[in-house]
Chains A and B, each alone.
Chain A
Amino acid sequence: MFGDYSLGDLGSIFAMQGFAGLILFSVYVLMALGLAIIFGQMGVINMAHGEFMILGAYMTWLCSEFFAAYLPSLFGIYFFVAMALAFVASGSLGMLVEWALIKRLYKRPLDTLLATWGLSLILQQAYRSIFGPREVGVNLPDWMLGSLQVTDSIEVPINGLLVMALTILITIAVYLLIFRSRWGQQVRAVVQNRVMAGAVGIDTEKVDRLTFGLGCGIAGIAGSAFTMIGSTGPTSGQLYIVDTFLVVVFGGAASLFGTIASAFTISQTQSTLEFFLSGSMAKVITLLAVVAILMLRPQGLFTLKVRR
């Protein structure tokens, strides 16, 4: 298996493979973080999560077109504007959906699955009608393309670095928001005991709406970031949804730390396997391993010991 490569090559393999795994890890964390908040903290299964992501991607595309047409001098920094816009757009749509749909279904988690699946169909068709059935090509500023030459044989893609940086930033922000802010305290209180939280004066409805909006907003940022590495089309969101749910469930739904740990495990497994096997088999084996482990340990890797 290693026979074809020289020792120096092997070093580079491991370095670059490690890095490829880290990029995949960042992608998984970005996808799963929003879902982990919505699913883990609220118990809502949001099948339209992928469509919220794609909304962010479309916002980025609109932004790039706008800057290219009207503010070409600022094109280099449009991506940051786009990301903020993606967050606001997906977040607002999320809050609207929570208000119109989700809040009626908190007692029926399985039904949220059906309703949000319906929502995802509607959003897909809406994207198709508005933006056309074809994928749109998002142009990136030049500085975001290309790679850094670390050594002769090791190169690091810049967009990968950006995705990783963004992941770290957002993870820290979410951590601070949930575990260090007053609002986060309220969220956790509502998760642990909704009735008591209401009794001590927390506006649970508002907390719910903001939590859902936050989850969707992060999905929007993720979608925006994925324009760097993936495709943007009406049905692109569907590509991510199964992986995302598995990451969240594998990590233990109620635990944000678990989500990150599980994203790390799954991404490293998959990217290592991909190197030695064909992409399809690597995917199947990874998914099978995750399902098998979940069958043995259904509560996931990490769980909060909360009596419900």
Chain B
Amino acid sequence: MAGNDDGTHSRLRRRLLMGMAAVPLSGLLPRIALADAPATAAINTTGLAVTDTDVTVGILHSVTGTMAISETGSVQAEKLAISQINDAGGVLGRKINFIQEDGASDWPTFAEKAKKLLVNDKCAAVFGCWTSASRKAVLPVFEQYNGMLYYPTFYEGLEQSKNVIYTGQEATQQILAGLDWVTKEKGAKTFYLLGSDYIWPRTSNKIARKHIENHMTGTSVVGEDYFPLGHTQFNSVINKIKLKKPDVIYAIIVGGSNVAFYKQLKAAGIDMSKQTLMTISVTEDEIDGIGGDNIAGAYACMKYFQSLDNPNNKEFVPAFKKMWGEKTVIGDVTQAAYLGPWLWKLTVEKAGSFDVDKIAAASPGIEFTKAPEGYVKIHENHHLWSKTRVGLAQKDGQFKVVYESPELIEPNPFPKGYQ
């Protein structure tokens, strides 16, 4: 699978080159002459797969198994970013090649493939993983062999590693501002928390509960329920919800269960124009399967929506569709995955080296002004500063942005007062 999608799109290329001119590269790279590429020996002291003309990175996602549904978008975004970077001249004058491996939705396989990418292929960086379980499985591998992982998914936090850049939101970035908004805007007092039964929904709901009970006034949690992954029968819990009559249903249900949940909710006569439902687990990707009709009127808390109205996004969305087809949709994680290769490129150029230690050290403070979500910056703790946005699901499967946090929110993977 080594190679590159070099079906180069000339129009795309031109547009991107123009876009690139806006990136303040020269400001970031005081010591490096852009015209001629520096010698390989100087910028690669640890034996990574870097030659005078090329650099090899890894893409590690599931393309088979149950997680293939979710991870496809990330793979597409990463390939797009890599091809755009190559069109714009590569990294330190080197063209990026990628090796793609399949994690097959199986965590030991992820660990095995991560090790292959680092030990056998000497990848300079790896873009990949989606579920927390796969990240937990590969983390020791990256730490042991000193690799660099760019992890795209919003996740539960409670982690920080020299060898990982988290381009998605940790839980507090995604949850708190949304809860504040719904309380203020909708006058919500009571919340019913739902989730699939695994670590991300449970941790997120824990943070939500702490916020609702301790950090806001007059609000309370009236119920909390979890379902096995793949559960498809929600009628009982819907009855419970109807009796408790919460102001807000706060749902963190994932995968196939999601589809069943929203269909049954709608069938049970819960009208989302009257009953507020807020979720942090439904992006444009998921709506594809749920059906816009079934979820229209729900609020989602994300940092990115395909419908975002900013110049960066107006270039990103058509470029993505041009490469992967008109019908593809772009969700929050897909956008975060797109950031990975770009952030890596900027960091390499700032550090003037492909060495992982130098990249890890140079990462904090890296700014990407062309991010489709607007502007992002890497924090000391290797997470991104980002905004929280609330989107209202529409029938056509898109979100209408109804709220945007005024400032970038600081990532706080070990939140005090929420543990």
Contacts and interface: CB of A to CB of B under 8 A. Distances in A.
Q: Do chains A and B touch in the complex (CB under 8 A)?
A: yes
Interface of A: 5, 9, 12-13, 16-17, 19-20, 23-24, 27, 125, 128, 133-140, 145-147, 149, 153, 155, 157-160, 226, 228-236, 238-240, 270-271, 274-275, 278-280, 282-283
B285 interface: yes
A233 B69 contact: yes
Q: Which residue of B65, B230, B242, B259 has the most chain A CB atoms within 10 A of its CB atom?
A: B259
Nearest to A274: B236
Given A145-B266, A235-B66, A279 B258 contact: no
Q: Which residue of A16, A19, A158, A232 has the most chain B CB atoms within 10 A of its CB atom?
A: A16
Interface in B34-78: 63-66, 68-69, 72
13 contacts: A24-B233, A133-B68, A134-B288, A134-B289, A135-B289, A137-B291, A137-B292, A160-B267, A238-B66, A240-B232, A270-B233, A275-B239, A280-B228
A133 B69 contact: yes
Nearest to A146: B269
B269 A157 contact: yes
Q: Which 4 A-B pairs have the closest CB atoms?
A: A135-B289, A231-B259, A20-B235, A279-B227
Contact of B227 (A149, A230, A280): A280
A108 to B, nearest CB: 29
Nearest to A20: B235
Contacts of B289: 134-137, 231-233
Given A133-B63, A279-B197, A279-B237, A239 B232 contact: yes
Contact of B267 (A13, A134, A138, A145): A145
Contacts of B232: 226, 229-231, 239-240
B256 A135 contact: yes
A39 B33 CA distance: 73
B72 to A, nearest CB: 5
Contacts of A137: 259, 287-292, 294
B407 to A, nearest CB: 35
B259 A135 contact: yes
Q: Which residue of B66, B257, B287 has the most chain A CB atoms within 10 A of its CB atom?
A: B66
A240 B68 CA distance: 19
A17 B236 contact: yes
B68 A128 contact: yes
B72 A279 contact: no
Nearest to A271: B236
Contact of A278 (B226, B230, B287, B290): B226
Given A125-B64, A145-B293, A280-B227, 16 more contacts: A24-B233, A137-B259, A137-B288, A159-B267, A229-B263, A229-B267, A231-B232, A238-B66, A238-B230, A270-B233, A271-B236, A274-B236, A275-B239, A280-B197, A280-B226, A283-B228
Nearest to B243: A9
A239 B255 CA distance: 11
A231 to B, nearest CB: 3
Nearest to A9: B243
A239 B285 contact: no
A145 B227 CA distance: 24
Interface in B270-295: 285, 287-294
B260 interface: yes
Contacts of B258: 231
A20 B239 contact: yes
Contacts of B260: 229-231
Nearest to B267: A157
Given A128-B68, A279-B231, A12 B243 contact: yes
Nearest to A24: B233
A155 B241 CA distance: 13
Contacts of A5: 243
Contacts of B231: 279, 283
B291 A139 contact: yes
B348 to A, nearest CB: 32
Given A16-B239, A17-B236, A135-B288, A233 B267 contact: no
Contacts of A270: 233
Contact of A239 (B63, B225, B256): B256
Nearest to B291: A137
Interface string B379-394: 0000000000000000
A16 B242 contact: yes
A160 B236 CA distance: 13
A139 B269 CA distance: 17
B221 to A, nearest CB: 14
Given A274-B237, A280-B197, A155 B268 contact: yes
B254 to A, nearest CB: 11
Q: Which residue of B72, B256, B260 has the most chain A CB atoms within 10 A of its CB atom?
A: B256
